[in-house]
Amino acid sequence: MSETADPPFVDIAARDDRPSSAEIARMSQKSVLGALIEARRTYGGDTVAVEDGDKRVLTYTQLLRAVAALSRVIRRTIRGDVVALMLPSSAGGAIAYFAVLAAGKTPAMLNFTAGRDPLLAACRVARVSAIITANRFVSVAKLDDLAQALTEAAPVLALEDLAKGVTRGDKLFAAAALPLGLLPRLDADATAAIVFTSGSEGDPKGVALTHRNFLANAVQVELTLPLELARVFFNPLPIFHSYGLGPGLILPLVLGRRLVLHPSPLRPKEVAQRIAETKANVLLATDTFLRQYARAGDDGSLSTLQFAVCGAERVRRETRDLVRQRFGFEVVEGYGVTETSPVLAVNHPEDIRDGTVGRFLPGIEARLVKVEGLEDGRRLMVRGPNIMAGYIDPATGKVVPPHEGWHDTGDVVAIEDGYLVIRGRLKRFAKIGGEMTSLVVVENLAGEAWPQTLHAAAVVPGAQRGEVIVLLTEEAEPDTKVLHAALRARGLPERYLPFRVIAVPQIPLLGTGKVDNVAVTKLALAAMAVQTAG
């Protein structure tokens, strides 16, 4: 559809030379458990499936036998339909996820960095009947108080104790399950995971993602990226996030790739060393984490990587240059949201357009909706086989599907020569002088002025000016003249200059590596109050 008279929306259809939404949906007619079983048949039971931070290595046969045995214990021990998992990226986390499915139950992925109240709310929304964690993880991560608090919502069970409950009969079942086909055949359109939105701008929402959603997204990514170059995936991201669960756990395993899991993205030296040891070819990360790994790593430590896939935040040019010069690989920037399982668009390693997140994946339909007051972007709505089944209604616990299959991302975007450009969250625009002003552009300017540090912008009330923009920066002594120079170089109007620039020791981040915009706004309000009082 051509844009001639500034219509209220513009539909972007998928290119004709790629599989359609319906074709990709047909290619995803199985469960993620069924896809894992099929991967064992295709790639061999003795092929290594997963390795974790404890250097525990499991073949496909060993993984599936562990899943089968634990599923019997879960079925005996837990009566309800939804089982929450509070586990790190580990072999135990992978086993528990698939075992909950094999027990005929739905996994709900708990963000253990979110804190007590959000997690209790998540358990209530999802109608969680039990929470599986691990004693060692709780101890190392210092989550004892949180685990105790969660007993208000449901019994908290240790994976170590469940493993002790595996009987001789469970082991015999596990040995016979694969050759006799005893593991359940799950409906492709049943919920494969309840994942909670990051809560970077408010209360998290429960998102029901189906088996078809995850597998369709795996197909879409495989059709888009040169995964034939990748035999070993490295994932340090948490599996409670759709990025860490979909591309970071399900995709590599169902495609027969060796998956290396690491329990935390926050240990850069350790991550760099393990990438070198495991000879990983693909790294899943965010821009912030990748920069830390590149700086902490010894020369050559990341050189086995063919490319790194970064999402959740904008990839800075400085990051691309750093890893290209030191280690010789490319940074592939992608874009997605929890509700889309999660990938919607991604650059190709041989066709990287700086400032864009690449082209839409095959099978994605996009609708660009006009927003009053915005001239250089439109609100993005999407439809396709990877779009969620729906949000969980907190009042009823039922899944409410998106209207006519369309999901409103809440992001403002533009299409430039077929490539998707993210202008920012609609909630992350300020009305300055009657004009909608993107906080992302303000942050990008700060990144150009001070490329070695992290920055975050927030909108706060101004005493006599309506809304004003406050920029928080980790730059110790920010010189605003440098910011003015970046503005002039970009030819942007002065409304993109922040009202205040405030140096802070650290920008608040979520466990996924995203900037915590709720915390940033609170910090900006507090800093403004201190400055005003002073």
For 434-475, give the secondary structure using H, E and C. CEEEEHHHHHHHHHHHCCCCCEEEEEEEECCCEEEEEEEECC
428 in a domain, yes or no?
no
Regarding whether 473 and 400 lie in a shared domain, the answer is no
Domain that holds residue 505: 433-533
Q: Find out whether 97 and 63 touch, Cβ atoms under 8 Å.
A: no
Q: Give the C-alpha distances (Å, rounded to integers) separating 187 from 30, 55, 212, 267.
A: 7, 34, 9, 39
Regarding whether 175 and 64 lie in a shared domain, the answer is yes
Q: How far apart are CA 52 and CA 252, in angstroms?
A: 14
Regarding whether 268 and 245 lie in a shared domain, the answer is yes
4 in a domain, yes or no?
no
Amino acid at 127: R
Which of 371, 388, 421 is the endpoint of a domain?
421
Q: Is 278 exposed, middle or buried (0-12, 13-18, 19+ CB in 10 A)?
A: middle
Which of 394, 421, 448 is the endpoint of a domain?
421
Helical pair 287-296 and 317-327, crossing angle rounded to 10 deg: 30
* Positions in the chain short of pLDDT 70: 1-7, 9-11, 13-16, 198-203, 431, 433-435, 463-466, 511-513, 530-534
Regarding whether 345 and 208 lie in a shared domain, the answer is yes
Q: Find out whether 331 and 307 touch, Cβ atoms under 8 Å.
A: yes
Regarding whether 172 and 267 lie in a shared domain, the answer is yes
201 in a domain, yes or no?
yes
34 in a domain, yes or no?
yes
Instruction: Residue 483: give its domain's CATH number.
Output: 3.30.300.30
CB proximity list for 433: less than 8 A, separation 6 or greater: 495
Q: How far apart are CA 496 and CA 447, in angstroms?
A: 13
Residue whose C-alpha is closest to residue 301's, from 320, 283, 321: 283
Q: How far apart are CA 271 and CA 286, in angstroms?
A: 13
Regarding whether 352 and 398 lie in a shared domain, the answer is yes
- CA 113 and chain centroid, separation: 14
Number of neighbours of residue 389 by Cβ within 10 angstroms? 20
Q: Quick check: helix, strand or coil at residue 246?
A: helix
Q: Find out whether 215 and 186 touch, Cβ atoms under 8 Å.
A: no
The per-residue pLDDT for 381 is: 96
The per-residue pLDDT for 531 is: 62
Does the CA dihedral 11-414-341-518 come out positive or negative?
negative
Which of 389, 421, 453 is the endpoint of a domain?
421
Phi, psi of 103 (to 5 degrees): -85, 0
Instruction: Residue 400: give its domain's CATH number.
Output: 3.40.50.12780
- Tell me the helices (H) and strands (E) count for the chain, helix number first: 18, 27
Regarding whether 202 and 145 lie in a shared domain, the answer is yes
pTM: 0.85
Q: Is 427 exposed, middle or buried (0-12, 13-18, 19+ CB in 10 A)?
A: middle
The per-residue pLDDT for 406 is: 96
Regarding whether 279 and 166 lie in a shared domain, the answer is yes
Look up residue 522 and give its two tokens: 């609170």
Regarding whether 384 and 247 lie in a shared domain, the answer is yes
Regarding whether 325 and 464 lie in a shared domain, the answer is no
DSSP H stretches of helix in 78-209 = 91-102, 116-126, 135-140, 144-150, 159-164, 168-180
The per-residue pLDDT for 43 is: 96
Regarding whether 453 and 362 lie in a shared domain, the answer is no
3 in a domain, yes or no?
no
5 in a domain, yes or no?
no
Q: Give the C-alpha distances (Å, rounded to integers) separating 236 from 4, 169, 196, 299, 495.
A: 46, 35, 19, 20, 39
Q: Is 279 exposed, middle or buried (0-12, 13-18, 19+ CB in 10 A)?
A: middle
DSSP string, 45-107: TTSEEEE-TT--EEEHHHHHHHHHHHHHHHHHH--SSEEEE---SSHHHHHHHHHHHHTT-EE
The per-residue pLDDT for 1 is: 39
Q: How far apart are CA 272 and CA 285, in angstroms?
A: 12
Long-range contacts of 345-353 (CB under 8 A, 24+ apart): 345/420, 346/221, 346/224, 346/225, 346/309, 348/224, 348/225, 348/226, 349/225, 349/226, 349/306, 349/307, 350/226, 352/320, 353/419
Look up residue 327 and give its two tokens: 């280690």
1 in a domain, yes or no?
no
Amino acid at 191: T
- CA 60 and chain centroid, separation: 25
Helical pair 268-278 and 287-296, crossing angle rounded to 10 deg: 80
511 in a domain, yes or no?
yes
Q: How far apart are CA 262 and CA 265, in angstroms?
A: 7
Q: How many domains are there within the chain? A: 2
The per-residue pLDDT for 530 is: 67
Q: How far apart are CA 214 and CA 216, in angstroms?
A: 6
Residue whose C-alpha is closest to residue 473's, from 432, 511, 524, 522: 524
Q: Find out whether 407 and 384 touch, Cβ atoms under 8 Å.
A: no
The per-residue pLDDT for 157 is: 98
Helical pair 91-102 and 60-77, crossing angle rounded to 10 deg: 60
Q: How far apart are CA 181 and CA 188, in angstroms?
A: 17
Q: Quick check: helix, strand or coil at residue 384?
A: coil
Regarding whether 341 and 192 lie in a shared domain, the answer is yes
Q: How far apart are CA 288 and CA 50, in angstroms?
A: 26
